[in-house]
Structure 1
């Protein structure tokens, strides 16, 4: 699939386009896109929730549901929450793994939940 790089405006294809799409889906709060109220993930609802197993399970479920609904090119196999100490203040990141439904290529990306960027 062909698309546009959100930063540079240039053409983007392949896994780079998929990774950008994953980051956009995961970091967009629900009901913030005017014409697509159901686009995004429920992560904003979990911001003030306690950091325990139940909240992490809800975060994984929200991530999986959003990606399964909005990204048909991805077959998700794993979602994990971790803290990246190389980023300032040890921000939380989601490690997302799977494979593409188009070519079967392995997909492995890390999304910074605070900034919405691909790492």
Structure 2
């Protein structure tokens, strides 16, 4: 039985459980902070860092922006995506062309959107965040 469901933004097909969380986090990372009307705390504050030189300071700011986007509380008191709690960010690659790839590891709460933060055991809770050509994409890892 699915704990949560939605539609795939590209195909219109049904998405359930962690696949739906992956899409939801993708929406967060492709929305600039403050771009969603009436949801001023929703979005990714690191958009301005895309395309900058990959210095230690820039990468640290980018990682901090990732953590902020996934933990900042909305007006209802829940994080933007309450079904996923970020635990670890692991850099995979940073190219001279500005392309970046990181793995986000976290805890999956299938009923987090309902306020039940009981973790799901045995479920993969890793995401792959990639930036190529200034475009962010999120996929299951």
* TM-score normalised by length of structure 2: 0.69
The aligned counterpart of 2:85 is: 75
Judging changes above 3 Å, is the alpha-carbon distance between structure 1 residues 91 and 97 closer, same or farther for their aligned structure 2 residues? same
In the TM superposition, what are the counterparts of 1:1-119 in structure 2 within 5 Å?
1-47=4-50, 49-68=52-71, 69-83=79-93, 91-102=99-110, 103-104=120-121, 105-113=123-131, 114-119=134-139
The alignment of Structure 1 onto Structure 2 pairs a total of residues equal to 116
Alpha-carbon separation, structure 2, partners of 1:33 and 1:100:
25
Deviation of the 1:34 alpha carbon:
2.1
* TM-score normalised by length of structure 1: 0.80
Alpha-carbon separation, structure 2, partners of 1:90 and 1:51:
7
Deviation of the 1:53 alpha carbon:
1.6
Stretch deviating more after TM superposition (5-14 or 44-53): 44-53
Gaps of at least 5 residues in structure 1 are: none
Gaps of at least 5 residues in structure 2 are: 72-78, 111-119
Structure number with larger C-alpha Rg: 2
